[in-house]
């Protein structure tokens, strides 16, 4: 089955630790995205990537980092510099960058203890 | 960045009734999309409507777009318990191909 997978589903982190969230897609999509969702709010874009080895900051990139070494993979690292990292993180992809339909993974809920 | 607005924030109706939710945006758009999110899950694309379209249907879903009022509505007919979810609109108002998302409408279908 084609789709997007995210792991882990739940993640707990102590303050001061970096954590990496995994996102893999087998849809052969060029564009991939990371969003943050807080209760009662819409999605906010953290980073996006149009092609391999390229990525751009979204609205709330501070305290986050990404890499895009393979077309299928777009991991997100939440660093200790992110002041309020507890949130639901969603990865998405689309055929190409643009205002197209996006396909979402199931999400990772990160809690900082 | 700006965010679209949806209303109502929450809607609770009886199974079998129709549900209508609205989305407003601020600037001109080329297209508007609606997505559904079940609790604690990822979003699922429902429908995309372009600025030159006024109405679009998909199964029990009907979406309208009024560019003069900068608003869109999503109608779900003959609601079912499985329609319980949050519904989000997203527009192409953002720069650099960023979608602008509304805060969502939480829909609860009572059996």
Average pLDDT of chain B to the nearest whole number? 92
Please give the pLDDT value at position B3: 59
Predicted confidence band of residue B1 (pLDDT cuts 50, 70, 90)? very low
With a cut of 50, list the residues of chain A below it in pLDDT.
none
DSSP string, A58-113: -TT-TTEEE--SBTTB--EEE-TT-S---EEEEEEEESSSSS---EE---EEEEE-
Q: Identify the residue among A27, A31, A33, A42 best suited for mutation to test binding to B, counting B beta carbons within 10 A and taking the highest.
A: A42
The number of C-alpha atoms within 13 Å of A107 and in the hemisphere containing its C-beta is: 18
Q: B48: which chain A residues are within 8 Å (Cβ-Cβ)?
A: 101
Q: Of the candidates B3, B40, B98, which has its C-beta nearest A42's C-beta?
A: B3
The answer to whether A38 contacts chain B (CB < 8 Å) is no
A84's CB contacts (< 8 A; 6+ apart) are none
Predicted confidence band of residue B7 (pLDDT cuts 50, 70, 90)? confident
> Is there a contact between B92 and A103 if contact means CB atoms under 8 Å apart?
no
């Amino acid at each position: 089955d084609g789709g997007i997978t995210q792991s882990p589903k739940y993640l707990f982190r102590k303050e001061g630790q970096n954590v990496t969230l995994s996102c893999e897609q087998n849809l052969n999509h060029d564009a991939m995205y990371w969003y943050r969702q807080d209760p009662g709010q819409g999605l906010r874009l953290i980073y996006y990537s149009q092609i391999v080895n390229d990525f751009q900051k979204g609205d709330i990139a501070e305290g986050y980092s990404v890499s895009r070494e393979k077309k299928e993979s777009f991991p997100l690292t939440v660093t200790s510099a992110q002041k309020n990292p507890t949130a639901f993180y969603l990865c998405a992809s689309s055929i190409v960058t643009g205002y197209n339909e996006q396909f979402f993974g199931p999400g990772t809920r990160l809690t900082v203890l | 960045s700006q965010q679209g607005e949806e209303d109502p924030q929450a809607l609770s109706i009886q199974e079998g009734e129709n549900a209508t939710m609205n989305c407003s945006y601020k600037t001109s758009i080329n297209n508007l999309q609606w997505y559904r999110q079940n609790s604690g899950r990822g979003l699922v694309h429902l429908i995309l409507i372009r600025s030159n379209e006024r109405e679009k249907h998909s199964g029990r879903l009907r979406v309208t777009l009024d560019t003069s009022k900068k608003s869109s509505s999503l109608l779900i007919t003959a609601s079912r318990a499985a329609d319980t979810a949050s519904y989000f609109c997203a527009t192409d108002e953002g720069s650099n191909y960023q979608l602008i998302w509304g805060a969502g409408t939480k829909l609860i279908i009572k059996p």
